[in-house]
Structure 1
Amino acid sequence: MASRWMMSAFVMTLLMMALPEARAQSPAPAHLLGTWRQAGDGQETACRVELEGVSRAGLFAARAARCHGPLATVRGWAPDRNGFVLFDGAGRPVVSLTPARGLMAGRLADGSLLVMRRSDLGKNGATKSLR
């Protein structure tokens, strides 16, 4: 009887070790939320990415509008060090952006530089939605 109990305890321990750790996701950093616009050649382009504070499948939701290439696939984001990482619909990283001279900069998989800046703030300090 004792060996049966020991075997059950051992199996339960193995099962608990195999399960992913359940963690409550921290709230999204408020200073990153809102609309970011792709910057290029000293100008802003039409490509906008909105970072939302709603969590979906372990990532915060993101929406891209008027973007091309890899940025058109952005569906999620996560804070990373001082910046953030954008993810496609399959949860694969598209680009990791870090602060650089008041902007966010990173390199896409093809090596091209991506620079993003905060979109214009409204009168109350809130960013305009992509909706």
Structure 2
Amino acid sequence: MRHSILLAVLLLVSIQAGFAQDSTKRYAGQWQATSGDGGTGMCRIDLATNSGTFGLWATSLGCLGPLAMVNGWKSDAGNVHLLGFDGNVVATFSPDGRALDGRFADGAPVVLAPLNGQNVASLDSPAAQNCIRLPDSGYCASGSDIAVPTAFPLWVKGLHPLVIRARPSMASDKLGETTAGQCFMIDSCQDTPEGTRCHIAPGQNSPAGYVLKHFTDDKGTFVGFRNFC
């Protein structure tokens, strides 16, 4: 029995070590960091494969705010954790199919875009059930994309064409549509029987009106826009 338990433990350790090694190769290289408020500066993060003081070695170049303190990194279950000079987590990221979507320790959003062709395939398969998805890939969206904004005004980025309504109701007049990839400012969000609707602030290229944060069609429920641009 003891031999069986020992073999099982060794097998688990071996699998975890192999996964960590695969993740290291998957994410190593340079990344461009951006945040919703631009508070990172012209920031690049370099994730190395050699060991550092805490975890693996990492450096930051031209970064402001918390990312200026990045000195190491580690991968856990496919997620990436950037570490500071004290070894504490500065920000945590998960792949979303196009970038590493993350949050600082205070909950503020931050994104790492790959500069060396790193693998950013989502951890969740399109076949996964009961999740809110990204409309372009069909993969499960991250929590930061799903979350309804609470601080305004906020620049967001459309992921799919969204109908703009005069009032927060499906029965109200259609004023126009946003386009996928379009950035626009919202100044409020509210719950409605048809889902959360957010108001596009006046004075932009789009009409001032209401769009859905999440929309549903015959394929499921999807994120209408990201909470940053």
The TM-score bracket by the shorter chain reads 0.5 to 0.7
Report whether the alignment pairs 1:110 with 2:113: no
- Give 2:51's match in structure 1, choosing from 35, 41, 55: 55
Count the aligned residue pairs.
Answer: 98
Contact kept, 8 Å, 2:94 with 2:101, in 1: the verdict is yes
Distance 1:40 1:64 in 2: 15
Q: Secondary structure at the match of 1:71?
A: helix
Distance 1:84 1:111 in 2: 15
Unpaired runs of 5+ residues, structure 1, are 1-23, 127-131
Instruction: Look up the equivalent residue of 2:79 and give its one-letter code.
Output: G
> Greater RCO between the two (CA within 8 Å, min separation 6)?
1
Tell me by how many angstroms 1:107 deviates. Answer: 1.2
Instruction: Look up the equivalent residue of 2:45 and give its one-letter code.
Output: V
Structure 1 segments (4+ residues) deviating >4 Å: none
Query: Could you state the TM-score of these two structures normalised by the residue count of structure 1?
Result: 0.64
Query: Could you state the TM-score of these two structures normalised by the residue count of structure 2?
Result: 0.38
**Backbone CA RMSD of aligned residues:** 2.8
After TM superposition, the structure 1 = structure 2 runs for residues 1-131 of structure 1, keeping only pairs within 5 Å, are: 27=21, 29-40=24-35, 46-119=42-115, 121=116
Distance 1:50 1:69 in 2: 17
Distance 1:57 1:39, change over 3 A: closer
Measured against aligned partners, the alpha-carbon deviations of 1:15-68 in whole angstroms (never above 9, x if no partner) come to: xxxxxxxxx9x6462110000111356x9x620000001102351000001111
Distance 2:27 2:103 in 1: 19
Unpaired runs of 5+ residues, structure 2, are 1-16, 119-229
Distance 2:90 2:96 in 1: 18
